[in-house]
Amino acid sequence: MPIPPALLTPDLSTPTDVRLLHSVLHNPGIPPTSTIEAAKRLAAWTAVDKHVLPEHKVIGIGSGSTVPYVVERIVAQGHEVNKDRVFIPTGFQSKELIVNANLRLGDVDQYPIIDVTVDGADEVDHDLNCIKGGGGCHLREKVLAEAADTFVVVADYRKNSEVLGTTFIQGIPIEVASFAYAKVLQNLHLIGSPKAVLRMAKAKAGPVVSDNGNFIIDAPFPAEMMKDPYTLLTRIKMLTGVVEVGLFCQMAKAAYFGNQDGSVTVKWHDGRVEKYNCCIDLRQYVRYLCSHALHWLRSQFAFTFRSKSPLPSSAVERCHHPVWLSVGSTPMDTIVSMHRTASLVLLSYNALMIMSRVYPHT
């Protein structure tokens, strides 16, 4: 039985850090609760497994909604692998992710050469040209992409296009000096983007201000011009007042797209397209939860499960069967915390039993 879209994950048999397991067991937001979020995680985890290797010591962390899953998978590689690494952020979001994950924070000033940078994208075409900057971080993102020996893009299936501008229709993000925005807007109107507008903030009055103190213009261009993004990038970049353009041309080595069916499509810079099937069986996922929850409990406390009577044969009755947790002299608040984890183990066990009846070859 293939995994439902809401539970799609890469192979969970990979050794995982105990801290990540603990967060998985206690965070109701994991696994992802939508097909899109599951696709993002698939892409991020697969890209990290393929490109963020133990020998890589300086790693760039991009921005966007897929990047938290990148950091999640890096943390899962374990403390021994990460203790000698330095992580370079592209903005405030990725800086917070690095700090909150207890990874070592660095700066591109200190490490101008990066082993690998993993970042999201707003849209990617068949040649791996990207639109980036929906989050307003494309200046720093481009600096880290250029500094990296390997630049890898991760996204969900909605970002995979033949021509840029197909799905990301709000336009190319352009960071401009604040005092020059009016003149840049006028010039963009003249070179083919009559609908270019200054990006306005939603939670404050006035325009969006980037991490660098600049304004951002969103400039949509006709499809014919978007078919040659490198030429368009050059024309925009030559406008006085433009700081950086959210077109990333001829930079990415590979782009990973998580799909709705649990697979990952990989586009390479040399034109190759590969597809990885990352689905696991739901029963395998439940076994994973059971075994690792028990492993975590045993690593923290000495405990035993005991029952007043044999487990009933009915899986439904088993859900309500009293199982007692014996924990020596452990403080009560710790027992309560452990009970939450134990409850997950029991629920997972009961789910596995139910599935074993439906699928007797488990």
Could you list the active site residues?
Answer: 141
**CB atoms closer than 10 angstroms to residue 169:** 9
d(CA 45, CA 48): 5
* Rounded-to-integer distance, Cα 263 and Cα 273, Å: 13
Angle between helices 92-100 and 67-76 (to 10 degrees): 20
Contact (CB, 8 A) for 175 and 210: yes
Residue type, 92: F
What is the C-alpha to C-alpha distance for residues 199 and 235, in angstroms, rounded to an integer? 21
150 contacts: CB under 8 Å, gap ≥ 6:
51, 115, 116, 117, 253
Separation CA 27–CA 341 (nearest Å): 11
Strand order in the sheet with 197-198: 197-198, 215-219, 172-176, 242-245
- Count Cα neighbours of 309 within 13 Å in the Cβ-side half-sphere: 7
Half-sphere exposure of 294 (CA within 13 A, CB side): 13
Residue 153's DSSP bridge partners are 119, 255
Q: How far apart are CA 85 and CA 83, in angstroms?
A: 6
CA 29 to centroid of chain Cα atoms: 14
Q: Side chain identity at 74, as an amino acid letter?
A: I
Report which residue type is found at 123.
E
CA–CA gap between residue 57 and residue 95 (Å, rounded): 17
Burial zone of 223 (CB within 10 Å; 0-12 exposed, 13-18 middle, 19+ buried) = exposed
| Angle, CA of 338, 339 and 341, to the nearest 5° | 65
Give the CA dihedral 284, 288, 291, 294, nearest 10 degrees. -140
